[in-house]
Amino acid sequence: MRADTAARGTRIRIVIADTGALTTGVALAILFLLPLLWAGYSSLSGPRATGDGAGLGTENYQRLFSYGEGLFVYVANSVAVSLMTVAGTVVVSVLAGYAIARFRFPGRNLLFLGTLAIMMVPYPTILIPLYVLLSRAGLQNSLVGLALVLIMFQLPFSLFMMRNSFEAVPREFDEAALVDGAGVPRTLWSVLLPAVTPGVITVALFAFLNSWNEFIAPLMLVTDGSRYTLPVALAAMRSGNFGAVDFGALQSGVVVSAVPCMILFVLLQRHYVRGFASGALKG
């Protein structure tokens, strides 16, 4: 009888705990989704969206598409910068993380700590020197130069992530590949890279989100309106003419800017969580 009562009490406590966790999760989801839902509704409503203020319309999006150089130009610039940043960050962090995690060479720890030290410097304070450096290299007002700067900003976290991801893989994998006659490049590509795929996806996702939403660096390093990224173009729209701000079109821009990030996160969230669980918090 006592055992049945204890078991019943345990089940009740589990149900209460699960209900509390579910309620908290739903409340947090609503809290985070409400601003996005409001932005989506605002982009389709209002007098300038429908012409008469009744119902929903797409005129806000039509004005957004025709703003400045055209929305497609700004989106294409953001996509180009983000893809270059992702590719550069993944290549550099994977190779550097593999070298630091698997090889012993003079200055290894100093190199790792020096890269991490970049996070201690507020990056807006070094944008002026970077502007001068890019000018001398012929990359000022260039999307390639902007991508190189964003790659540098991503390296501390990405290197930390990949180094710990590689260290989480047993060294027996490397030894077995070497015994089978595989060289270092083949071992990295065929054996270790599949094992650290969640970490690579996490690095790529962070690099995309940060470069896609970056505002200060493009604002200072890009001066040609035809090379503006989407956040800078939206900020220019926010300034308006003679103080008049087209909030409907601006809300449409917010939706356009948020949708790719949401889609990528939903598609890759499983790998993202696994990457943090297996590598980023280890060591």
46: left (phi over 0), alpha (psi -120 to 50) or beta: left
Which pLDDT score, from 0 to 100, does residue 148 have? 93
Which pLDDT score, from 0 to 100, does residue 77 have? 94
Exposed/middle/buried for residue 68 (C-beta within 10 Å: 0-12, 13-18, 19+): middle
Which pLDDT score, from 0 to 100, does residue 73 have? 92
Which pLDDT score, from 0 to 100, does residue 4 have? 62
Which pLDDT score, from 0 to 100, does residue 150 have? 93
**Closest Cα partner for 63 from 77, 51, 81?**
51
Which pLDDT score, from 0 to 100, does residue 281 have? 46
What is the full DSSP assignment across 182-233? Answer: --HHHIIIIIIHHHTHHHHHHHHHHHHHHHHH--HHHHHH---GGG--HHHH
Q: Which residues of 234-254 are buried (b: 16+ CB within 10 A; e: fewer)?
A: beebeeeeeeeebbbbbbbbb
Which pLDDT score, from 0 to 100, does residue 274 have? 63
The per-residue pLDDT string of the chain (283 residues; one tens digit each, 9 = 90 and over) reads: 555 666 666 777 777 777 878 888 888 888 888 888 888 888 887 666 666 556 677 788 888 888 888 889 999 999 999 999 999 999 999 998 888 888 887 888 888 888 888 778 887 788 888 888 888 888 888 899 999 999 988 988 899 888 888 888 888 877 788 777 777 788 888 888 888 888 898 899 999 999 999 998 998 888 888 899 999 988 888 766 656 677 778 888 888 898 888 888 888 777 666 655 554 444 4
